[in-house]
Amino acid sequence: MRRFIGWLVLASVTAVAVPLSAQEAAAPAAPATPEKAAYLAALEAYKDQVREIESLWAAYQATGDKTEQETINEQLKPVVAEAKIKVNAMVDAALEAFKAAPMSDKEVTDLLLSVAEHQAVGRGEGGGGDQYETAVPILEALVDGGHDKAELPVWGALAAICVNDFDLADKFAALAEKSGALRAGPGGDEAAQETFATALRFIEDRARYRARWEKEQKVREAEAAADNNPRVKLKLNKGDVVIELFEDQAPIATANFLSLVKKGFYEGVVFHRVLPRFMAQGGDPTGSGSGGPGYSIACECEKPDARGHFRGTLSMAHAGKDTGGSQFFLCFVPTDFLDGRHTAFGRVVEGFDVIGDIQVIDPGKNGPQPDVIEKAEVLRDRGHAYEFDKLPGR
């Protein structure tokens, strides 16, 4: 219960730079622009939602009755879900207010800076990071608006490469080089240092990442025209993720995954290994990293048309060639060093914000509870029998 509330209120919501109590203490001045007025309205809606959460949480803590606690827990779920929507609306409104009058309002500027850092860097097990789609427009606005925080173009280049906007990545990289940010130490905590190191690698190799993406883009355009790839929805405790499967290039992995989904195999299965700026691994019914469906399937990663690993790629986890079964991973960033080693058999088409929210889990450490797949369902397939050879395995 506490972790569930903490996911939104303490991770997403605390990205807000000005505490709720401080915002209430100072009466806001009359807005100078319609955009600022819209932001203030969105802020009030957010505060109202937080008050409702706090009231329900206080009631939960006050009662010792387990039945009442379960009832309150169910009441909280839609309220917290609505709070996330209102947080996003508030941030969107703040972004528009900033664009209308860059750097003119410290509260708005500080809010966006905090949100950008939360989305691009995060706090490890504390949440955040790997939210590049939403980070990019905020980072671009802050940089274009004249904010002088040295890390902004570095984070921006990383985020732009991850979302395959290479012209924007070049712009950010040039600004980072000109300002000397690429030669400065990142400082800060472990997450900041790792993000900086990852960004430097990606910036240096961005021409290669661009070439990979241009090749992949042509394949995706052909797939969009055909519009017949199977799709699966994973309903996580954090939200829904829709995945399109690469039946043409990875028919075995696709058939296996569809078969397991149709059997309900993944329901209740956790993401047992989640590493920031890398991937989220799940699919093990034991949650230990060593379980599977009782068989293995052949690898397809050495085929001439094998797909590469990009942000959002769904790929087979295994312990060696032809040992994959039910375990898979979702890439947070481009991971081309896995090309030819793991079978990429799908990609996220909806729910990038959800995969970025998956709880960080280091399997070698004691930590928070992992996030779970509550339900998996096939949205569409090609209507034929999905048969495949099963090899001996776990």
pLDDT in tens, 321-346: 999 999 999 999 999 999 999 999 99
Mean pLDDT of 225-238: 98
Per-residue confidence band for 23, with pLDDT thresholds at 50, 70 and 90: very low
pLDDT score of 365: 87
Which residues have a Cβ under 8 Å from the Cβ of 103 and sit 6 or more positions away? 109, 145, 146, 147
Q: What are phi and psi of 272, to 5 degrees?
A: -90, -10
Alpha-carbon span 292 to 393, nearest angstrom: 8
pLDDT score of 18: 42
Q: Give domain 227-392's CATH number out of 1.20.1270.10, 3.40.50.300, 2.60.40.1930, 2.40.100.10.
A: 2.40.100.10
- Residues 142 and 159: beta-carbon distance below 8 Å: no
Q: What are phi and psi of 379, to 5 degrees?
A: -85, -35
Kindly tell me if the per-residue pLDDT of 105 is higher than 60.
yes
Which string of DSSP letters, residue by residue, matches 115-154? HHHHHHT--GGG-----HHHHHHHHHHHHHTT---TTHHH
How long, in residues, is the chain? 394
Which residues have a Cβ under 8 Å from the Cβ of 3 and sit 6 or more positions away? 368, 369
- Token representation of residue 65: 């009755």
Mean pLDDT of 383-394: 93
Per-residue confidence band for 20, with pLDDT thresholds at 50, 70 and 90: very low
pLDDT score of 28: 54
| Closest residue by Cα to residue 141 from 113, 161, 174 | 113
pLDDT score of 124: 80
pTM (predicted TM-score) = 0.90
- Residues 112 and 141: beta-carbon distance below 8 Å: yes
Q: What are phi and psi of 384, to 5 degrees?
A: -110, 170
Per-residue confidence band for 189, with pLDDT thresholds at 50, 70 and 90: confident
Alpha-carbon span 136 to 169, nearest angstrom: 10
Kindly tell me if the per-residue pLDDT of 364 is higher than 70.
yes
